[in-house]
Structure 1
Amino acid sequence: MDIQSREVRITVQGLTLGMYVSRLDRPWLETAFLMQGIKITSEDEVAMLQRLCNHVWIDVELGASPDPRYLAFAEPDPIRQGRAAAEVAALRKTRWEPQVDVQVELRQAEVVHATLAASIEEVMTDLQDGKRIDLDRLKDGVDAMIDSILRNPTAFVWLKEMKRRDNYAYQHAMGCAILAASFGRHLGLERPELQLLALSGLLCDVGKTRVSTGLLHKTTPLLRDEFEEVRKHVEHGLEIIDSTPGLSPKLREIVATHHERHDGSGYPWKLHGSDIPIFGRIMGIVDSYDAMTNARPHAPGRSPHLAVNELYQQRGKLFQPELVEQFIQNCGIYPTGSLVELSNGQVAVVTDVHSLKRLRPRVMLLLDADKSPLQQFRVLDLGEVDKDDKGQPLSVKSGLPSGAYGIDPVELFLH
């Protein structure tokens, strides 16, 4: 019998000695309990759970069964969905508007990107050498990045796509920070929350500096015990964060829960749905998207378009549907940096997306209909242009994999 079929949900008024509490209606991190799952052995533990929670889950195989009078049945789907939608809507405290054109911001963003990249690499090296995180330097880089993202979010996301390197750890930290801040801006979070998300993005996988490099660079599927060893990076990351003065409990919570999943299949504590703190849910989406779009030792990178499709397929399973929909609104069906083929056969790279016209991004044309390079690249906003030069309807026909037709955007037009 699997654990979910052994669990029953009860109100806390039904708690008694001898019961095994497997899950709470809030993260274990918010409680004084050291273990994720406890067998009740004292009235003090009963009283503490009754103060903290409205309902809990009891494992009937590991402890006493509850009185049926206290069974708490799950909320009907419409009520649960309404509550989830209201929670996401409540995140919006402000509305950010672009202050400058993306081409103007690119010049400033490149300098900030290079500075932050150097900071991340230094932090990774320091941790591998047993040193502490230089928090002040990281915070300075995050502040400068957020300034850029608030002026125009597209520039930094664009640079993330164009400046990929072979160092996955570095790329992933940078990518998560940029995407988290950009997504938070879209959700309407205020600046301190954007700083928290961006810094959490930089540090969410910092525990991997204590995992064997042989495992992290393994090109074949991990064995069960190897997989469990890699999963310990969350535990290692929390140890690093706990030893770093100046990091907030909220950041610790995000790092602790960014691998939890909506359906309870995540780790380390198999939290479900709203039991996962909302910033942990946000970081889970960001972390997964960036991992899919980066080349890893055991898997090639997917195109941004395919990664968005995967997130969409996993809504309601691995990820909260309302947050997935907001993420796609932010990055578009064809995200910045995606290669696409247009209906007339031309090939382009997406340079900006429209939140209200997600299928009609702004693109830079790279190849002609016969797939030969254009002598001069041309920017085209499909949100404003609906016909090609021959008067035929123009749209995105499909997304293309990274490197299609031998295209390297860096070589083509950033150098």
Structure 2
Amino acid sequence: MIRKISIDQLTTGMYIHDLNLAWFDHPFVRNQFMLETLEDLAQIRATGLKELYIDASRGRDVAEAPTLEEVQASTEATLLEALSKPAEPEPEPRVATLRDEALRAASIHKQADKAVRKVMQDVRLGRMVEIAEVEDVVDAIAGTIERNASAMLGILCIKNKNEYTFLHSVAVGTLMIAFAKSMGLDAETVRSAGVAGLLHDTGKMCVPDEILNKPGRLTEDEFNVMKSHPLEGWEVLRQLDDVDPIALEVTLHHHERLDGTGYPHKLKGDQISQITRMASIVDVYDAITSDRVYHKGQPAAQVLRKLWEWSPNHFDPQLVQHFIRTVGIYPVGSLVRLHSGRLAVVMEASMDTPLLPRLKAMFSLRTNSYIHPVDIDMSWEAQRGGDRIVGVESPDRYGIDISRFLLAR
């Protein structure tokens, strides 16, 4: 039985099922292991986590602690209650269909990837970084999000684990633009948010590859080197004459947490700006949904619920709620299971109705085979009492290539 316990209840002899932290916020190579030493217990407590999950069937139990199912039910109930309120501000109407915008969005994504690679390479080689190209890319991304946000957000699902650092920066920049626009922030701030997202991990180019891509557990010294990347990036960017101040701030503080357990300065609450709070949410969301050589990405819908569970200790609950509205409680590119026994790809999400996205059903669980793709508007299904979403699935389990459907014309 899986239970959620407080850090004060953790002792040696317990089997840790989930540290309940983002994988990059702790030095352990695995999230699941037997806690055998006081040294490991001290390291876990040093992360600042407040709650975690144990497997009572494999180690010591805490009988009064809530079960995983109870926690998930409570998280889902509070999230759905929060999302039941109308979205503010009202989303702007799309001016392009998903079909028309998809290929243009893919081209802009490649342009962004190229710009980020150049910045990272310049940093690694000690050359002067050119910000103008990054700003041009941000304008292009903002334009395609204006025309149809789902087209651009869908491209972010297509990832290569061997190019994580570059694609992560592109994803964070893109999501920051969409997030800021959905918040109703002014155009200049939206642009700054996008630049900040694209540049936020610049300091990782100052981390040795053997640490950055190490498949095993980091030593304490290696973990400290990894945690130096925000300050390293800030040092690089602050030497530029034309760098956006918001980009500097986000680069330095995107790993800070509301409860003061983040780094490098252990800022708390209002010491962290709104844009930086937004960036910390986006950074964790994309990191956990991405594959790495040593980490399997989790389905986006599950990660959103984790972000909600982790607030308000780590993240601003109102901003997490708004981010979920921005990407949809079932984000574009998610694979969902329908009551009818079909699997469907989420094609478009809506801030107004985050629980009722537009889908493309393309796989039958009954026959374990592909079917002719069918477009489904879940808003219409809800009105007539038709099909409904009953769960989230991993595409890998069925060998489904999501990009095949997202980019189809």
- The bucket for the TM-score relative to the shorter chain is 0.7 to 0.9
Q: Which entry has the higher C-alpha Rg, 1 or 2?
A: 1
TM-score, length basis structure 2: 0.74
Query: Quick check: 1:201 aligned with 2:194?
Result: no
Matching residue of 1:372: 368
Moved over 6 A (4+): none
Q: How does 1:5-404 map to 2 (within 5 A)?
A: 96-164=92-160, 166-386=162-382, 393-404=386-397
Q: Which residue of 1 aligns with 2:402?
A: 409
TM-fit CA distance, 1:107: 3.0
The change in CA–CA distance for 1:194 and 1:201 in structure 2 (over 3 A counts) is same
Structure 1 residue 201: deviation in Å?
A: 0.5
Deviation at 1:163, TM superposition (A): 4.8
Q: Which residue of 1 aligns with 2:77?
A: none
**How many pairs were matched up?**
321
Q: Deviations over 1:251-287 (max 9, x none)?
A: 2112111111011111111111111111110100000
Q: Give the Cα separation in 2 of the matches to 1:226 and 1:265.
A: 19
Change (3 A) 1:371 1:178: farther
The one-character-per-residue Cα deviations of 1:155-195 (angstroms, maximum 9, x if unpaired) are 11011113545301011101101111111111011211111
SS of equivalent residue, structure 2 residue 128: coil
Q: Is the 8 A contact 2:89 2:182 kept in 1?
A: no
- Report the Cα offset of residue 306 of structure 1: 1.2
Question: 1: distance between equivalents of 2:363 and 2:194?
Answer: 35
Answer whether contact 2:102 2:407 (CA < 8 A) is retained. Answer: no
Q: CA deviation at 1:122?
A: 2.1
Unaligned stretches of 5+ residues in structure 1: 1-91
Measured in 2, the distance between the counterparts of 1:300 and 1:107 equals 28
Q: CA RMSD in A?
A: 2.0
What is aligned with 1:72? none
124-133 or 405-414, larger mean C-alpha shift:
405-414
Shift of 1:117: 1.6
Q: 2:60 maps to what in 1?
A: none
8 A contact 2:196–2:246 mirrored in 1: no
Distance change in 2, residues 1:408/1:280 (3 Å): same
What SS class does the counterpart of residue 167 from structure 1 fall into?
helix
Measured in 1, the distance between the counterparts of 2:295 and 2:163 equals 14
Deviations, residues 294-322 of structure 1 (Å, cap 9, x unaligned):
11233211110111011011111110111
Q: Tell me: CA distance 1:137–1:267, structure 2 relative to 1, closer, same or farther (3 Å).
A: same
- Rounded Cα–Cα distance in structure 1 between residues aligned with 2:197 and 2:395: 24
Q: 3-state SS of the aligned residue for 1:313? A: helix
Aligned identity (percent) is: 29
1:60-104 CA-partner distances (Å, limit 9, x unpaired):
xxxxxxxxxxxxxxxxxxxxxxxxxxxxxxxx8996332222222
- Gap regions ≥5 residues in structure 2: 1-87
Instruction: Provide Cα deviations, 1:291-349, integer angstroms capped at 9, x if missing partner.
Output: 01111233211110111011011111110111111111111221111111111110111
Q: Deviations over 1:181-237 (max 9, x none)?
A: 111111011211111111101111110001011111111221221111101001110
Closer, same or farther in 2 for the Cα pair 1:313/1:136, shift >3 Å? Answer: same
The residue type paired with residue 363 of structure 1 is L
Distance 1:110 1:410 in 2: 11
Distance 2:350 2:306 in 1: 21
The answer to whether the 8 Å contact 2:161/2:291 transfers is no
Cα deviation, residue 402, structure 1:
4.2
How far is 1:375 from its partner? Answer: 4.3
Q: 1:306 to 1:94 in 2, by over 3 A?
A: closer
Whether the 8 Å CA contact 1:361–1:382 is kept in 2: the answer is yes
Q: Aligned to 2:361, what secondary structure does the other structure show?
A: strand
SS of alignment partner, residue 383 of structure 1: helix
Distance in 2, matches of 1:414 and 1:253, equals 35
Aligned amino acid, residue 393 of structure 2: L
